[in-house]
Structure 1
Amino acid sequence: MPTPRTLLALPVSLAFLCLSTATSQAGPAPDTNALVRLLVTRGGAPAAALLAHDSTGLGITPAGADHERAATDYALGTTAYAHSGIGISRADHFRAGSITKTFIATVVLQLAAEHRLSLSDTVEQHLPGLVNGAGNDGRALTLRSLLTHTSGLYDFTADTGGTVPVSPTRAVRIAVTHPPADRGRFSYSNTNYVLLGLVIRQVTGDSYATEAERRIIAPLRLTGTSFPGSRTTLPSPHGRAYAADGSDVTDLDPRVAGAAGELVTTLADLDRFYSALLGGQLLPSRWLREMLDTRTAHGSYGMGLFPVKLPCGTTVWGHNGRISGSYVRTAATLDGRHVLTFRVNTSEIADPGLEPALLAAEFCPRTS
């Protein structure tokens, strides 16, 4: 569950390598396909897969429109798939880590749009007494500060290593044994989104998983996406997941991350979700603008999304996710019409320059 700072490495020089690719009319530039292979040969991943979708020029179905029409519009877009290495395939289910945060933020903003909560509400109003100790005070923290990672709350996974299953309340209690960082300064913390998961339950009476399934997963027909709770196995089909030392970590208790990183999904579902979100299908325009506003976090983060400005001047929006045995990245243009998701079946990419180079190769215009 990494910070956006991992995206700031400089691009590396690219090699043009031939790779088998299935396309419909058009797809990623050859550089993108080459980089998928480099994720294995240079990035140290056992295998890598990428699914890109580009519906530039097609209409985007507005919020509230028929979901079957939305699915049809999405299917009309040009797509391309690239894969390298052994052990994973296009249809696989995998753990998405912190990409879960975009789903949680979307649910919270939907509740705000329904006037069931306010982003200026304090944590204490919804979860009285929970955030208290070592200088932490839920009365001083707003839901906005949780969404934007400006609460200063300590990241509980720094103590658990992201490998120890804990309940949400236990995760928060671990965090509040540590003094907070400066409030108002961007400081990425998984504790923020664990708290938002608890707020969703307090406001709705249902778990964050139930609300996300009802509000996002079912309407968008994300048939490969789920919140597994305490289930340690992945749905079929799935490949294997490996730790940095090569050990098999495919089976994992998702309670190591909870609302900050529990999600299981597929390449196609993530492309569809981010395309729908940025295309205005999940939030009214006012609340989508709130989600994309990075001023609170001084340009580093919106709410469950962060921007990356590419060398060509294009800015893409999305999130990354790291959890034991899996690293995932989704990025999309502001209108959601061009979206890319790639994954590797290990926790780290050895060459940090590959990710920004891959995004530039996909989203920057080719020049002759």
Structure 2
Amino acid sequence: MTASRRAAALAVVCLALCLALTSPSSGTAPSSGTATPSLRGEAAAVLDATGAVSVTVRVRDGRHTEHAAAGEAVLGGGRPVPHGARFRAASVTKSFVAATVLHLAAEGRLSLDDTVEHWLPGRVRGHGNDGRRITLRHLLQHTGGLHDIDTTRFTGRTAADFERRRLDRVDPRRLVTAALEHAPDFPPAAPGDPAPRWNYSNTGYLLLGAVVERAAGRPWPEEVHERIVRRLGLRGTRVPGDDPYLRGPHARTYHRFEGSDRFTDTTVRSMVWADAAGALVSTSRDLDRFFTALLTGELLPPRELAALRSTVPGNEEHQRYTPGMRYGLGLMRQPLPCGGGRWGHHGDLEGTFVRTGFTADGKRSVVITVNGRTTDEDRLLRTEKILQDLIDRKLCGR
């Protein structure tokens, strides 16, 4: 082969490799990654209305994807948010854990009707708590009555508290023990109750992480990696473990704590305490890929997918922030103004909002991240409405 032919052949191989490495997985392939002036304007409007430091918006309609960002990656630095930014997904982690539990159920490794006592003998006892009455389905759906964790006992309420404790490695078992010092919020839901009592409980998902380890024989992050992350090619998704840093391109996160008149940088912090309830790091592209695969049956068989989508109404407190919200197994559903519903999960952490929305058929999606958060309830409610209105408009094709 001549040098010129070898060069041409090499070029063809390189082109094929590049296409293989850069083409997104099925169901999310974009025809364009550029943002229209309209989407850039909407991202800037969210920034202005919320007083945040940065906002990113990713919108997909079929195979056409747009992403826009507004604000600064570093407060006062003037640098824009990098494309493909990593962020702490917070409670979106629960959807990954729920999908893993359902995958194990599909394999017969566990049953959703198994009790917590069966997998974690003696772990949920005392103060009226009884793991013999609470099933894995209860934990997945927040209908078991377990008291939620007060994370501020370990992370603090003030900026000074956070600065002192940001690198503390708090064993999640300590948080479960602290939650179990409280009586249950209510008795576990009866089987088949269409409107059971409901209360969001991180405690239950910390216990689910331990159940996955018992059932699978390895830590839940490894199960999530093998069953979801590696399988779907989620290149920006990981469980950081002891690593307090956001690796790769990212924007910094900022929180205005109680009693403070300025933002505190919350980017570098230990997330060991959040574990299976909220430790995951991801990207907008990866969350789009994951939820689309989840909702369209790529990850789960029909029976488990039906269980995932079987919802109960959220409580009054959560309805204030997420009107009409119903909760499946690690998955939220809210009504769309144009009919039908949107699916996904929210993530909240000191400094960050993560909001996701997907049509039931997976053809349209929105992923929003906002950096720059406050503890002021009126501002939180206002921000929530702005973000959810944007999701509704985009999923309704407006």
TM range (shorter): 0.7 to 0.9
- One of 34, 52, 71 as aligned partner of 1:85: 71
Instruction: Give 1:317's aligned residue.
Output: 343
- Are residue 142 (structure 1) and residue 135 (structure 2) matched? yes
Amino acid at match of 2:173: T
Instruction: Give 2:253's aligned residue.
Output: 241
Per-residue deviation, 1:89: 2.5
Instruction: Give 2:289's aligned residue.
Output: 272
Amino acid at match of 1:220: L
Q: Distance in 1 between matches of 2:243 and 2:307?
A: 34
- Are residue 49 (structure 1) and residue 81 (structure 2) matched? no
Per-residue deviation, 1:323: 1.4
Q: Distance in 1 between matches of 2:32 and 2:146?
A: 48
Instruction: Give 1:351's aligned residue.
Output: 383
User: Runs of 5+ in structure 1 lacking a partner?
Assistant: 1-22, 56-76
Deviations 1:59-91 (A, max 9, x none): xxxxxxxxxxxxxxxxxx110011111112331
Q: Distance in 1 between matches of 2:32 and 2:233?
A: 25
Query: SS where residue 150 of structure 1 aligns?
Result: coil
Per-residue deviation, 1:297: 6.4
Number of aligned residue pairs: give it.
323
Normalising by structure 2, report the TM-score. Answer: 0.77
Q: Distance in 2 between matches of 1:315 and 1:232?
A: 36
Amino acid at match of 2:69: H
Query: SS where residue 346 of structure 2 aligns?
Result: strand
Instruction: Give 2:183's aligned residue.
Output: 179
Q: Distance in 2 between matches of 1:235 and 1:28?
A: 25
Instruction: Give 2:231's aligned residue.
Output: 219
Instruction: Give 1:362's aligned residue.
Output: 394
Per-residue deviation, 1:205: 1.2
Higher helix share: 2
TM-aligned CA distance change 1:181 to 1:359, over 3 Å: same
Conserved? CA contact 1:243–1:325, under 8 Å: yes
Instruction: Give 1:168's aligned residue.
Output: 172
Q: Distance in 1 between matches of 2:352 and 2:179?
A: 24
User: Runs of 5+ in structure 2 lacking a partner?
Assistant: 1-29, 74-80, 157-164, 190-196, 257-261, 316-324, 375-379
Q: Distance in 2 between matches of 1:159 and 1:251?
A: 17
Deviations 1:73-128 (A, max 9, x none): xxxx1100111111123311110100000000000000000111111111000001
TM-aligned CA distance change 1:30 to 1:254, over 3 Å: same
Instruction: Give 2:216's aligned residue.
Output: 204
Instruction: Give 2:103's aligned residue.
Output: 110
Higher relative contact order at CA 8 Å, sep ≥6: structure 1 or structure 2? 1
Deviations 1:33-62 (A, max 9, x none): 54322221011210100112222xxxxxxx
- Map 1:242-261 → 2, pairs under 5 A: 242-244=254-256, 245-261=262-278
Q: Percent identity?
A: 40
Normalising by structure 1, report the TM-score. Answer: 0.83
Amino acid at match of 2:218: D
Q: Distance in 2 between matches of 1:285 and 1:304?
A: 16
Q: Distance in 1 between matches of 2:51 and 2:154?
A: 22
- Are residue 304 (structure 1) and residue 315 (structure 2) matched? no
TM-aligned CA distance change 1:161 to 1:170, over 3 Å: closer
Conserved? CA contact 1:90–1:267, under 8 Å: no
Amino acid at match of 1:324: E
Give the CA RMSD over aligned residues: 2.1
